[in-house]
Structures are given as C-alpha cells and as structure tokens.
Amino acid sequence: MSETRVAMRTSNPAKTVDHAMIVGWGVDANPQNDPTYPYRDRSEDDHSGEWQRPTQQEPDIELLKSVEHKWLPAVFGTASPPSGLSGSMRRLAFRWSESNWAHWLLLIGADRVNMIEGVIEDLAHSQIPNIPKEMGVPAEWRHNKTGLIKKVGVTAAIVGTVTALFLAQKKAREPEMRNALNP
C-alpha cells in the first residue's frame, strides 16, 4: 500500500455550537464589512488602464492570445505548445473572444483530440500506456473492491450483450447476403 492515511479524530456529539467556546471568535469582526466593504483597495485605482509594465518574457514557443487582450501579458507558461490536429483546432478557437461559445467548444473538442494524439505519441515512443495504473485502479482495488468488481461486471455484461446481439444479427443476415450475391 502506497499512501498513508493520517489518523483523525472525530467525536463532537453536540449538534449546535456555543460560539463562546470558539477560539478566536469575532477577532476579525468588522461592522464596516457589509457588501460594499473595500476588499478591493481603491486608493490606487487610476482608471487609466496603464501601469509600469514588467519586463516582457520573450516567446520561444507558439503562444495563443485572447483577442480581448490589448497586449501580450508580460509573463506566460511554456508548457505543451499547440501541435497536431488539436493545435489547429486551438488556433481556430482563438479567432473568437472568451465571450463566444465557439471558442470554448472548439477548445474542449481539441482537448479530446489531444488525448488520442497522446496515446499515438506514447506508442510512437514504443511506450504502451498503463491505463489502469494511470486511472488509479490499484487504489480502487485497495479501497473499493466491491465497487470495482461491480464496474468490471457491468462493463463485461454490456460488452457481452452487445457482442452477442451483433453476432446474432450478423448470422441472421448471412443468408440474405448470400442471396443478394447469388441472384
């Protein structure tokens, strides 16, 4: 077993709680914190939309930028630049603003395509992904055996039924096919 569970204490039988018993009760109470309370500090709110900008990070990968941005933000991540078919879909998505459904639906679609590309990439590197391990099946086995057995059982039953139906149908159609081929 890999993960270690930390022992935890749970014992409070009372349903209601007397706040007089709470350590720190009310220490941050602030009558001015009504919904207009300034958790936003307006003292430097100059409405100009300009500020002393940080040094610009130089892009050395392909970067997609929201059309709502006035300029390229100074800093960005360089993980997983767009590539392949999913990359083309992402490029297309960025023609539309963040307010447009097309933008997000294309990106979600690209994510699904990217998943298949990931498997192909693994195979191309002669690495067969250990999908049960990646999905945490060992943990499921340790902590939810009956659930796992049920899931496997249900999946097997569905696959079995579908296969049986398919075979039965194919068998039923075989004479027809033969007839069609030999008029």
Partner 1 sequence: MRAMNYRGPYRIRVDEKPMPRIEHPRDAVVKVTRSCICGSDLHLYHGMVPDTRVGQTFGHEFCGIVEEVGPEVENLKAGDHVLVPFNIACGQCHFCKQGLFGNCHESNPQATAVGGIFGYSHTAGGYDGGQAEYARVPYADFGPTIIPDWMDPDDAVLLTDVVPTGYQAAEMAGIQKGDTVVVFGAGPVGMLAARSAWLFGAGRVIVIDHIDYRLEFVRDFAPAEVYNFKELDDVVVFMKKTTDGLGADVCIDAVGAEATGSMLQTILGKRLKLESGSAIALHWAINSVKKGGVVSIVGVYGPTGNMVPIGNVVNKGLTIRANQASVKRLLPRLIEHVRVGNLNPKAIISHRVPLDDIADAYHIFSDKLDECIKPVLLPSAA
* Sequence letter at residue 114: N
Closest-CA residue to 90 (of 77, 72, 104): 104
Q: Exposure of 155 by Cβ count < 10 A (0-12 exposed, 13-18 middle, 19+ buried)?
A: exposed
Smallest separation (angstroms) from partner 1 to the CB of 156: 19
Smallest separation (angstroms) from partner 1 to the CB of 99: 9
Q: Which is nearer to partner 1, 40 or 178 (CB)?
A: 40
Q: Which is nearer to partner 1, 60 or 176 (CB)?
A: 60
Smallest separation (angstroms) from partner 1 to the CB of 14: 8
Smallest separation (angstroms) from partner 1 to the CB of 143: 4
Smallest separation (angstroms) from partner 1 to the CB of 124: 13
Q: Which is nearer to partner 1, 78 or 163 (CB)?
A: 78
Q: Which two tokens stand for residue 77?
A: 């991540």
Q: Which is nearer to partner 1, 115 or 164 (CB)?
A: 115
Q: How many degrees, rounded to 5, is the angle at CA 130 between CA 127 and CA 131?
A: 125
Closest-CA residue to 134 (of 119, 155, 114): 119
Smallest separation (angstroms) from partner 1 to the CB of 160: 24
Q: Which is nearer to partner 1, 25 or 166 (CB)?
A: 25
CA distance 91 to 79: 16
Q: Which is nearer to partner 1, 65 or 170 (CB)?
A: 65
Question: Residue 95 in contact with residue 67, Cβ under 8 Å?
Answer: yes
Question: Residue 102 in contact with residue 93, Cβ under 8 Å?
Answer: yes
Closest-CA residue to 116 (of 80, 86, 82): 86
